Structure formats: structure tokens, C-alpha cells
Structure 1
Amino acid sequence: MSEIRPFAAADIPKVADMFQRILRKTDRPATPSLKAYLGELFLDPPDFDPDIVSLVHVRADGSVSGFLGALPMPMELNGMRLRAAVCGTMMVDGHAEDPFAGARLLRAFLAGPQDLSLTETANDVSTAMWRKMRATVLPDYSLEWLRVIRPAGFAAALAASRFGAAAMLAPLARPLDAFLHRQGKGTEPQWSHVAPENQNGAFSDTEADAERLLELFPALTANFPMRPQWQAETLRARIAHATRKANYGDGIRRVVSTRDGRAIGLFIYYGNKGGIGRVVQILAAPGQEGAVIDRMIDHAARRGLVALRGRVQPALLDAMMGRRIGFLHASSSIVHTRDPALIDLFRSGKAFFNGFAGESWARLIGDRFD
């Protein structure tokens, strides 16, 4: 008879093998680096809680056939501490042999001691499982946004991501984008350029080190009634994890300030010239969301990126309107709790979730383990 039990160090080789085959879709063996990171992330996470643990599904013969990664994340609501857990990596080996293994893992996770169970990476199959267990899908947290900066370059980069030979189109895209930029310059915002008002000099952005981020994260999330209970040492660990995402490109961490040096926001993204940048976090003081988004787009444009994409925060949606930002759905953000009042906070966008308040900071999303 199969069972669910806590993830242990002895399970790492099997889980790493599943990660390669099921999530990375490669037959290459798991590297020592990947195995070490799985142990670091899921056996000693930044906000370690001995009662909130990752889980494995074990067949009757004792072999591990499934895994669910649980990341503790203390939250606070108007000064009250809440225990939250983020369901990260979830996978099942041999699904056809035991189609209910994933459901058993999820049910065991939701039965844990946490007040809130969350995920931001649920695919269609796992979303259906969450729904059956009376969880709430959060549409405003589940959207991804896309801002094209260089249309021809974006098309070439998109083609190259599917067909490697299409990378040869990139040099041809540059003069076309330059032409489109000249045609649109000085007019209303277009997909082909950054509007002049984004560069009016009222705001500037400068590089942020880890200590500056440690200072700004709590300050810029303080206006959310429901937010992570950031502790300096655990937030520092998340920032360290997020330093490298080699599959996405170079990491960029910038603080946006007014002319007198007052910080009004920050943005963190990854990307290289000619590529599509991945934004992990945008934070802004109330009323300054548009300025922060503009500085981020302008910075990416100056670095030669062809587009930016990231996960929506409800607090940013209004500012994104009118900035030629499109929206799509790739995975779902979901909350499960026995307290309806907590669900209402998420539905109304008053909870800070996704990005660093989720799992996107972890290296498993976007990094290589060569």
C-alpha cells in the first residue's frame, strides 16, 4: 500500500531524477549541484518550520514515485502572525500506474498546520485538483503581463526559442526595429518604442545591493494588510537564492528614486541584449506604480532587450493600462484556507503574493545546475 511521508535526504537522488525527466524534460542525469540545491531548498528553506515539510509519495515496494515541495512563509495580517506554506515543485512518476498519487500528495499538504496554503505555478491538471479540494483560484494574481519593446526582435527571439536556427533572424530584425522606432518617436506610446514621457528626468534608477533590498522590501509592502512577515535573515536568504537565474540572463536589481533621492520603488528582472527579460518583482509606493514600471521598461530598452514579461500583482494592474502591456495566462495562483475572511483579502488584491512572496525567487525556476 502506498504512503505519504516527509521528504528526507535519502530521497534526493530520486527526486532530482524526477525533476530532470518530468519538469526539465531531459534524459541527462541530475548533477551534484542540482541534488545539493534540492536539499538546501526543501530540507533547510529560508523560513524553516519543523511542522511544514516537503512530502514524498512512496509505492508499496518502498520506491519514491512523487514529490511535493513545501516552502514555509510566515505572513502577517494587521500585526497578527499567520503560518503560510507555498506548494512549489509537484511531480509524479508513473502517473498512469497511480493516477491519484498527485491528489494524495496535495491532500496531505493541505492537511498541514498552516493557516494558508498557496501556489503560483499550478498548471491545468493541478489547478483542477486544487479546485476539487475547495481552493480558490485568484484570477488577478494568475495573469502574466508582456511588454514588447522591439517587435521584430521579439518575433525573432520567440522563433529562436522554438527553433534554434531562427536565431539567424536577429540581425535582420534590428534595422526593422530601428525603422519602427523612428516612425513612432514623439507620438503616443507604441509597441515599437518607449514613450518620451518615460524619460522625463523626474525619476532615476540605480543599482541595488542586497542590503538596500533588505531595507526596501518591508517598507514597500507595508501598505498591504496581508503580507510576508519579512525577517532580515530569511529575506537575505531569498535574495541570495534569487541572485542567479542563468536561463533567463543577467540579473538586474534597481531602485527607483525621485530627484531628491527618495526611493519610491524597485524592480528585479533577468535578461540579456536581444532576449526577452523575465521580471520577478516590482514594488512601488502607492501612487508611484506607473513611474516604477516606466523606469523598468526604459532600463530594459536601453540594455537592448526586445521584451519584458512577468507575473501580475493586482496593485500594478491599473498602472499597466495604457502602457501597451498585454496579458496572458500560463499558470494559476491559488489559495486554500478555512477562513473566508483571508480569501477575501486575496480576492480584493490586499494580499501581497507572487514573486518573492511565492516561489519565483528560488533557483529551480530559471537557473541551470551544470
Structure 2
Amino acid sequence: MGQIRALAAADIPAVAGLFQKAFRRTDAAPSDAFVACLRTLYVDHPLVHDSLPSLVHESKAGISGFISRHRLPMQIGGRAVNGALFGTIMADKGAGHSLIGPKLLKAALAGPQDFSFADTTSDISRTLGQRLGCTPLPSHSLNWLRIIRPTQWLADQVTQRFRPFGLLAPVAGAADDMLRRRIHPNRPRWFAHGAQNAAKGAATTDIGAEKFAALFLALSRRFALQPRWDCEDITTLSRQAMEKRLFGTPHFGAVTDQHGTEIGCFLYHLKKGSTARVLQVLAAPGVEGVVLDALITNAADKGAAAVIGRTEAWLMEAMLGRRIGFTNTASSMVHSRDADILAAVTRGDVLLNGFVGEQWSPMIGNRFE
């Protein structure tokens, strides 16, 4: 039946091959770039820790299953705790063992961590996790979407499947410019964002990874359950998160109020004329809506057709009335026996998703041919 053990560096080529079978439906050898990425991500990464290694299932035929784990050093009420960030889980269907996936997840949940968290679970993984005692987090499991240039956004969606439609982009852009000029700023529309819309009482400044790290650290202190990171840790993750070639150019922003006080920050990727993909947004208490408006306006000014991000509990109320739509493509879930952690999660007093999740990973937003 095989055994479950910690991932070793020598396993990486086999794990890459398993990725090929499980997700790309091919037996073709993985590229050197992909193997190197997995080695960096699961062996050499700063969030890899000996106490919480990724796990493999090994049978007579070799590596037949894998689940990734990264250590999340966190704190709650001044008490240090450690989370385990779960990512990819996969099994070789040809290995003849239908329980490889459940066994891997059960073994990973039984580790020394104070809580386990995943934000990219499929419907199958979510159902399996619930059977093993995990709790789904609906307010962390939705993609939010704000359309800015509707014709351009629709053309971009079609072009991703049928490239010749890209020739319509200039026409779509001109049509949206006319539409946006006609939208009154005090009358928000579901499928457009007016050219005159602005974040009232706020200003946005382009910043770098180091400044973003400092703001991330300061603004995350509002949460009961927060990362136990320093600026260097966040800067490292930020620079890794910048490299998402399929999503476009990274944009870091700082938001200040009318007094010049820094009240928010964000990071998104954008290809002009396409969708701005928000990886992280943070705001001081009470000004979540102002920061959200500043983020959307900033992306609109840089040519975004739409803005998409992942919901978080603390941001949900601010989204009301802002003509934002929601979809679900992957779910977040948590597992813990710590009463303080579960209480913080239940009331939404946590920083999860974004950097405290898997979205910084180079596996998201890149190709490795």
C-alpha cells in the first residue's frame, strides 16, 4: 500500500512528473525550469521548515502522491503559534490506491502545527477536508470582480480563447472611453466605472516592495491572528510575488488620507486593457471602503478593464454598494483545535488569503515550458 514520508530534495523530479500526470494530463517530461521552481518552492523556500515538510506517498512504483506544506509563523494575543499552509495535493490515479489523497491530507493535518489553512482547495478537496474536521470559510472563498471597461473586458475574455478577437481591442477601448465619460460619479453602474470616479479623501502613491513590506507589517497589527514576520520576510515574499508573467506588471500602492496618514496598501498585477489581479490589500480599521475605492481607481487610471481579487472577512462590508460581483472558483478552509484561533477565525479577526495563503506562489501566474 506504500508509505507516507517527508519530501526529500531527491524527490523533486518525481513530484514534477506527478504534476504533469495529475494536472496537465501528460506523461511528457517536465521542463528543467519547472523542476527548478518546485525545488525552490518546496525545498529551499524561507517558509519551508523541518517541522512541517511537504509529504509524499511512496509505493513500489515510486512517488504516487504529494501534498505541500509551508510553515506560517503567526501570533494571537501576543502568543506565538504556527500554522501550516497547505497547497497542492495530488495522487497518481494509475497507482491503484484510491485512498492516497485522503491519507496524505490526514497525515498532514496530524502534524505539530497549531492550525492548518488552505486557500486553493477544489470542491473535491474541500469535501474531503470537511470529512476530516476542516471548516470552510465562505467569506474567504469568493473572487470579487469590479468591471471598469465592460466592452474591453468582454473582448479580453474572448481574446484569451480566440486570439484574432484581439484586433477589436482598440474599438472596444474607444467605446468604453465614451461610456465612462458619460457616467455620473455619484451614480455607480454595475458594468462600468466612471472616468470621474475617485476615492474621496484619499490619495494613492506608487511604492516599492520595501515600503509595501513596512505598511503590510503596520496594518496587519489590527488582526487578532496575524503573521509573525519582519519586513525582510515580507519583502522576500513580495519580490517573489512580483514574478507572474501571465498576469502582467506588478503595481504596489500606498493610500493616504487627507492628512497624509498612511491608511492602506495594495499589490496587483496588470496587463493594460486586461484584468488587474489583486494579490493583497490592507486597510486601517474604519477606512476599508476608502482604500478599496483607491485601489479600483488606481487600476482604472492604469488602463485596467476590470479588477479581481479574493475576499476576506474584514473587507466584505466595505464591498456593499460598490457594484462588486462574486464568484467561487476555489475555497479556503481551516483546521484547528486551538479555541483562541477558532474564535478569531469565527469572528473574522484574522489575516488570511493573499500573502498569508498561496497566491504569492510562482506556481500561480507563470508557465514553465
TM-score (norm 1): 0.94
Residue 83 of structure 1 contacts residue 115 of structure 1 at CA under 8 Å; is this kept in 2? yes
Residue 85 of structure 1 contacts residue 116 of structure 1 at CA under 8 Å; is this kept in 2? yes
Residue 267 (structure 1) aligns with:
266
- How far apart are 1:84 and its partner, in Å? 0.5
Counterpart amino acid of 1:153? Q
Mapping of residues 76-91 of structure 1, within 5 Å: 76-91=75-90
Residue 37 (structure 1) aligns with:
37
- How far apart are 1:33 and its partner, in Å? 2.2
Secondary structure, aligned partner of 2:19: helix
Of 203-212 and 320-329, deviating more is: 203-212
* Percent of residue pairs identical: 39
Report the Cα distance in structure 2 between the residues aligned to 1:103 and 1:312, rounded to whole angstroms: 28
Of 190-199 and 203-212, deviating more is: 190-199
Residue 133 (structure 1) aligns with:
132
Report the Cα distance in structure 1 between the residues aligned to 2:97 and 2:9, rounded to whole angstroms: 24
- How far apart are 1:29 and its partner, in Å? 3.9
5+ unaligned residues in a row in structure 2: which ranges?
A: none
For each residue in 1:153-200, what CA deviation from the matched residue of structure 2 results, as whole angstroms up to 9, or x when unmatched? 111111222333333332332232123223323441113123745254
Report the Cα distance in structure 1 between the residues aligned to 2:230 and 2:193, rounded to whole angstroms: 40
Instruction: Classify 1:27/1:295 alpha carbon distance in 2 versus 1 (closer, same or farther; 3 Å).
Output: farther
Instruction: Classify 1:110/1:151 alpha carbon distance in 2 versus 1 (closer, same or farther; 3 Å).
Output: same
Confirm or deny that 1:72 pairs with 2:63: no
Report the Cα distance in structure 2 between the residues aligned to 1:347 and 1:166, rounded to whole angstroms: 46
5+ unaligned residues in a row in structure 1: which ranges?
A: none
Residue 55 of structure 1 contacts residue 105 of structure 1 at CA under 8 Å; is this kept in 2? yes
Residue 15 (structure 2) aligns with:
15
Of 86-95 and 168-177, deviating more is: 168-177
Secondary structure, aligned partner of 1:74: strand
Residue 328 (structure 1) aligns with:
327
Residue 33 of structure 2 contacts residue 368 of structure 2 at CA under 8 Å; is this kept in 1? yes
Residue 243 of structure 2 contacts residue 362 of structure 2 at CA under 8 Å; is this kept in 1? yes
Secondary structure, aligned partner of 2:176: helix
Mapping of residues 44-59 of structure 1, within 5 Å: 44-59=44-59
Report the Cα distance in structure 2 between the residues aligned to 1:263 and 1:95, rounded to whole angstroms: 54
Counterpart amino acid of 1:155? L
Residue 170 (structure 1) aligns with:
169
- How far apart are 1:24 and its partner, in Å? 4.9
Residue 206 of structure 2 contacts residue 254 of structure 2 at CA under 8 Å; is this kept in 1? yes
Of 267-276 and 30-39, deviating more is: 30-39
Counterpart amino acid of 2:19? F
Of 76-85 and 257-266, deviating more is: 257-266
Report the Cα distance in structure 2 between the residues aligned to 1:255 and 1:236, rounded to whole angstroms: 15
Instruction: Classify 1:182/1:207 alpha carbon distance in 2 versus 1 (closer, same or farther; 3 Å).
Output: closer
Residue 188 of structure 1 contacts residue 195 of structure 1 at CA under 8 Å; is this kept in 2? no
Residue 95 of structure 1 contacts residue 101 of structure 1 at CA under 8 Å; is this kept in 2? no
Counterpart amino acid of 1:17? G
Over the aligned positions, Cα root-mean-square deviation in angstroms equals 1.9
